[in-house]
Amino acid sequence: MDRLLTKQDLADRWQVSITTIDRWTDDGVISPVKGLPSKRFNLEHVLQLEGTEIGKLSPLERKRLERKLKQLEDEKEKLRIENEELRDYVKSIVGNGIKFIGEVAR
């Protein structure tokens, strides 16, 4: 069986706190081995994370960009709805203006 690391092992290896390891686990940056009563991390998976090529997005950067993308998509949708409401408002004003001009011209 592959060697498994505890949260403390991983925190020591990466020189971060156990809280950071928990947060990265919650964010999906690193995945623990499933089916165990406590969180253990596969050494091979850890080595893959450590060996990412320069230029590729780190798991943390990828997660940050995914959150930013979601935020921008939500903002875009709100602006699309606001734009529709403004178009309807302008159509109403122009329509009323045309009616008014027609009545004045009589």
Q: Which two tokens stand for residue 39?
A: 């969180």
Which residues on neighbouring strands pair with residue 42, listed in sequence order? 4
Q: Which of 58, 59, 24 is nearest to 39 (CA)?
A: 24
**Quick one: pLDDT at residue 48?**
83
Mean pLDDT calculated for residue range 3-7: 93
The residue count for the chain: 106
Sign of CA dihedral 8, 10, 14, 20: negative
Amino acid at 5: L
What's the total number of domains in the chain?
1
Mean pLDDT calculated for residue range 62-70: 90
Residue 98 in any domain: the answer is: no
- SS3 category, 6: coil
Residue 63 in any domain: the answer is: yes
Residue 19 in any domain: the answer is: yes
**Quick one: pLDDT at residue 52?**
55
Q: Does the pLDDT value for residue 98 go beyond 60?
A: yes
Question: Residue 33 sits in which domain range?
Answer: 4-79
- Distance, in Å, from the CA atom of 87 to the CA atom of 30, rounded to the nearest integer, reads 47
